[in-house]
Structures are given as C-alpha cells and as structure tokens.
Amino acid sequence: MSGRMAGRRAIITGGAGGIGLACARRLLAEGAEAVLLDRRADALTAAAGIGAAPVACDVKDPGAVAAAVTRAAGLLNGPADVLVNAAGVYRIAPLLDLTPEEWDDVQAVNLRGTFLAGRAVAAALIAAGRPGAIVNISSTAGLVADAAEPSAHYNASKAGVLALTRQMAAEWAPHGIRANAVCPGVIDTPMLRLMDDPVAGAAYLRTGVPQGRLGSADEVAAAVAFLASDDASYLTGAAVPVDGGVTAI
C-alpha cells in the first residue's frame, strides 16, 4: 500500500461488516487511524481485531451520531477528516406492497443516517478549520431501476444519497471539504440477494454485467480510498459506479 492515508483520521459508519469493513481495512492499510461506527455490538466485537476502535451507534439517532463523532475525535486525538458513510439496509418489496413504515425505515438508515453523520463530521472540521473528505456509499440502484428485484424505498434512498452528496460538495467546498459517492453494483457481501437463486443469478451475470462476475467489497474499498485521498484532490460532487459495467449498457 502507498501510505497515502498516513496521518488521516477516519470514521466508517456501518464499519463492522460488508463494504464498510472492507473500507476500514483499506484505509488502515494505507496508514489511516479509524473508528468503526455500527449499531450491531456483536459485529463490532468481531471486527475489533483489524485495529480500528469500535463505537456503537445507530445512525438514525441524531444524538447518538453526534455523541459517536465526538467520541471518535477523542479516540483519534482530533476530529475525523475522512468519513465513509457505509451504513445501509437493503429491502425488496413491490411498490404496491410497500408500507409507509418500511419506506421510512430504509430512508432513515440510508439517507437520514448519511445526512446526520456527514453534518456532524463537517461541523467538527469547520470548527477546527481543517479540510476533509466524505465518501458516501450510494448504489447503481440510485441510477437505474430494476423490475426483477423491486426495491423502490432502497432505490429512492440511494438516489437521495447522490443528491445529498452533490449538495455537501457545493456547500462545503469553501471549507476544504470534498464529498463524493460510489455506486456499487452487484457486490459479494452478506447484503447481496442476487444469488439467492444461483441459476437466475448466474444468468444475470452473463447477460447484465459486462465483466460477467460479482464485484468484491475490496474493489469498492479501493475506489473509496482513492476518493478519500489527496489523489482525488480536484474531485468533488462525483458519483463513481463500481459495477463491472452494468450502467454502461
């Protein structure tokens, strides 16, 4: 690894599993210090061995997010200057079957949580007069629809993350804070549902993914690390698909 994150302090929400954990490992490997935020205490315990400090936090709760960001600053000996918003939930339901409560729950985690964590980290950086980088995890579901696996509440939340990212970029650029998003496609994590039916999943990979395979969480983490680093110093407000070419066709 390049060590390009040496001296950086990172918070990763949803950091105890999946893409979040892969991002934490990558940032640590590149020299950052890191704090993992997750609401699952058991998963945080399991993830603690990677060398990041665990902090229990429900990203839907404004008070819990503010307290966790303050706690992270204490653990990192200063405000985090990298935030990866990876906390998220995925649900499948046709629109006509979707309840308002199901809609609200997905929006609360995926969109509200991204807003709350981003606001708390940016406020601390601005108060300290420090620059920083925010990378939000959106999805190709925020770019294109999927009739075969209907998830309007998830899709809408991830499209909202893209709009939120652009607004963060526009408002916080004068403070030296960059905000970008990655849009993972079909990634081999516990959240993936595509391969529940292996035959149908394999057929989709052959016909719908130009690279013909699932992506890995590590491949998403590589894009996140780039966006968080000074190598992306003139990049803000962007949405980068990490999808094997799905959105190219």
User: DSSP string covering the chain, please?
Assistant: ---TTTT-EEEEETTTSHHHHHHHHHHHHTT-EEEEEES-HHHHHHHGGGS-EEEE--TT-HHHHHHHHHHHHHHHTS--SEEEE-------B-GGG--HHHHHHHHIIIIIHHHHHHHHHHHHHHHHT--EEEEEE--GGGTS--SSS-BHHHHHHHHHHHHHHHHHHHHHGGGTEEEEEEEE-SB-STT--GGGSHHHHHHHHHHH-TT-S-B-HHHHHHHHHHHHSGGGTT--S-EEEESTTGGG-
**Catalytic choice (90, 154, 204, 234):** 154
Return the exposure string of 34-44: e unless at least 16 CB atoms fall within 10 Å of the residue's CB, then b. Answer: bbbbbbeeebb
Told to judge if 204 belongs to the known catalytic residues of this protein, a careful annotator would answer no
Active site residue ranges: 154
